[in-house]
Amino acid sequence: MINNTANSSNDQSHQSSVPPTRPKVLIIGAGLGGLTLGMLLHKANIPFDIFERASEVKNIGSAMMLTSTTAYLFQQCGIYDEFVSLGKKVVATQVGNERRELEYIMKFGGASALFGYESYIIARPILYDLLHRQVPKERIHMGVKITETSQDDNGVRIHCNNGAVYEGDILVGADGAYSIVRQSIYSQLKAENRLPVSDALPLPYSTECLVGQTRVLDVSEFPRLAEEDCQFMNIIGDNKPYSYLDVEKSKHDSSFNNSEWGPEAAEVFCKEIQDFPIISGSEKPLTLGNLVEWTDKDKISKVMLEEKVFETWHHGRTVLLGDACHKLNPAGGAGATNALHDAISLANYIYALPPRPTTADTDEAFVAYTGERISWAKAAFDSSSIFKTMASTGFLSRVVRFSAKYMPLWVQKRIIIQMNINRPQACFLPRAEDSGLVTPAPQPSLSLKAHAAFLSVAESVS
């Protein structure tokens, strides 16, 4: 009998003999994707628990752009107005040079008319807090390190470093680029000679990035902050590829050195870029060095930006979402969006499962989930790669920027539509109003509500 109470199997006082009405879901990772899935499962009255290895969440992270493609989710969950109040509308990307001159602007205007909603920039910590508040506190378990996962026809189990074992019906790996859940199921598949060759390769990266979060900036120092719309800007250096490597690498390379990724490495990186100019709107010429001065050292990190879309997203009762199955370069601003889209689709398929799903049931659901999401993830990967190239140096980068600068409006509009046409919704919540001129792309999981209702009736009759 599976412990459907979401408690450790070592804690017998919480065992329940009441038959489950929904499959029990264990989520590994309390990032944006894991929290969004938890929020949706909570709305659907599906039992779940989230396990996070960190003992606390650090209040760091860059700003991120969420387009109209996530607005339906926030509307359905009743948090859209708060999201808008916490963010700032963005209508264009500005590209400048080292002389602090604007070379061109890529406009996103008309999004509200086309898709019903605008795009917004929001600080990651603020978005995280908003989502975190939608999940009951007792369902999030911090400081839990997973050492092993296992599954069979009866359910799934996670084994923790403190000896505790948790049981459920479904295991979701939302634990990032180096997912322990992915490693576990890939080990099983590799032993069975069922893992695609590409999935067995190390996770590659070709970008090193310095990230940080300054103190609250003064409008007198950064007059552009007073603008009504968010000033989203890229400054292209003159043959200064600070963030981009010449070759693709991985953590498994013999040349990889952990000492290159600690606090000292970040400090060295800061010195390398301290004279790089920024556009603040002030008469005083400011540089990245000024931003470094206004940033606490513990909020500066040198990170590698892995890039890969895995082919295998599930095995048996275990399934992946977000960075665990597709890691995108942040230049395209699509990583968080795709994690949220994964959560919507996966929640729909879990909602449609019977109360006591067999392994065949979960496999069928996860095949459908992967089929619904993987093509969008690959498209986002390609788009992010283009934006990465645009922000880099070299001949190809100049060609991409030239094309973007002189792109006809009709081509630009077509690209914007393609980037915003996938606007998924949860099938078990009241539909968000679709007031845009551009009809959303077909979403197979949106029609699962009637199927889930049928299963519920059939279960009560039996």
For the record, the structure tokens of 73 come out as 């989710």
Location of structure tokens 């980068």: 397
d(C-alpha 240, C-alpha 397), whole Å: 13
The type of residue at 280 is S
Q: What is the pLDDT of residue 212?
A: 84
d(C-alpha 268, C-alpha 457), whole Å: 63
* 27 φ/ψ sector (left φ>0, alpha ψ -120 to 50, else beta): beta
d(C-alpha 288, C-alpha 274), whole Å: 5
Mean pLDDT of 386-399: 80
d(C-alpha 446, C-alpha 328), whole Å: 26
| pLDDT surpassing 90 at residue 193 | yes
pLDDT, the chain, mean: 86
d(C-alpha 431, C-alpha 425), whole Å: 7
For the stretch 194-245, pLDDT in tens is 999 999 998 888 778 888 888 888 888 888 888 888 888 888 887 665 544 4
For the record, the structure tokens of 344 come out as 């919507």
Q: Which residue has the higher pLDDT, 396 or 310?
A: 310
Q: Which residue has the higher pLDDT, 152 or 254?
A: 152
> Helix axis angle, 124-132 relative to 32-43, nearest 10°?
30
Q: What is the pLDDT of residue 64?
A: 87
For the stretch 268-305, pLDDT in tens is 889 988 999 988 888 889 999 999 999 988 888 888 88
What percent of the chain clears pLDDT 90, i.e. is strictly above it? 51
Q: What is the pLDDT of residue 5?
A: 41
Catalogue all structural domains in the chain, each as residue range(s) with its CATH number.
Answer: 12-461 (3.50.50.60)
For the stretch 54-97, pLDDT in tens is 998 776 667 888 999 999 999 999 999 999 999 999 888 888 88
**For residue 65, what are the β-bridge partners?**
121
Contact between residue 51 and residue 141 where contact means Cβ atoms under 8 Å apart: yes
Helix (H, G, I), strand (E, B) or coil at 462: coil
Angle at 38 between CA 375 and CA 116, to 5 degrees: 55
Band of pLDDT at residue 455, cut at 50, 70 and 90: low
**Per-residue exposure over 220-229, b if at least 16 CB sit within 10 Å of its own CB, e if not:** eebeebeeee
The CA–CA distances, whole Å, from 454 to 21, 85, 459 equal 14, 40, 9
For the record, the structure tokens of 439 come out as 């009809």
Q: What is the pLDDT of residue 453?
A: 53
The CA–CA distances, whole Å, from 249 to 205, 331, 338 equal 5, 18, 24
Q: Which residue has the higher pLDDT, 432 or 263?
A: 432
Helix (H, G, I), strand (E, B) or coil at 327: strand
Contact between residue 351 and residue 448 where contact means Cβ atoms under 8 Å apart: yes
The CA–CA distances, whole Å, from 202 to 253, 313, 320 equal 9, 16, 17
Q: What is the pLDDT of residue 398?
A: 82
Q: Alpha carbon 374 to chain centroid distance? A: 14
For the record, the structure tokens of 277 come out as 């100019």
Band of pLDDT at residue 257, cut at 50, 70 and 90: low
Q: What is the pLDDT of residue 251?
A: 66
Q: Which residue has the higher pLDDT, 332 or 80?
A: 80
Q: What is the pLDDT of residue 255?
A: 55
Q: Alpha carbon 103 to chain centroid distance? A: 31
d(C-alpha 252, C-alpha 1), whole Å: 41
Contact between residue 396 and residue 389 where contact means Cβ atoms under 8 Å apart: yes
Mean pLDDT of 97-120: 85
Q: Which residue has the higher pLDDT, 372 or 391?
A: 372
Contacts of residue 170, Cβ cutoff 8 Å, sequence gap at least 6: 23, 24, 25, 26, 156, 317, 318, 319, 350, 353, 357, 362
Location of structure tokens 């680029």: 177
Band of pLDDT at residue 405, cut at 50, 70 and 90: confident
HSE (side-chain half, CA atoms, 13 Å) at 144? 25
Q: 35 phi and psi, to 5 degrees?
A: -65, -40
The string of DSSP letters for 404-450 reads HHT--HHHHHHHHHHHHS-----TTSPPPP---SSPPPP-GGGG-HH
Q: Which residue has the higher pLDDT, 254 or 359?
A: 359
CB neighbours (10 Å) of residue 210?
A: 18
For the stretch 1-52, pLDDT in tens is 234 344 444 443 333 444 567 899 999 999 999 999 999 999 999 999 999 9
HSE (side-chain half, CA atoms, 13 Å) at 339? 28
Q: Which residue has the higher pLDDT, 240 or 435?
A: 435
Strands 119-123 and 63-66: antiparallel
Mean pLDDT of 389-408: 82
Band of pLDDT at residue 462, cut at 50, 70 and 90: very low
DSSP 277: B
pTM above 0.85, yes or no: yes
Strands 170-173 and 25-28: parallel
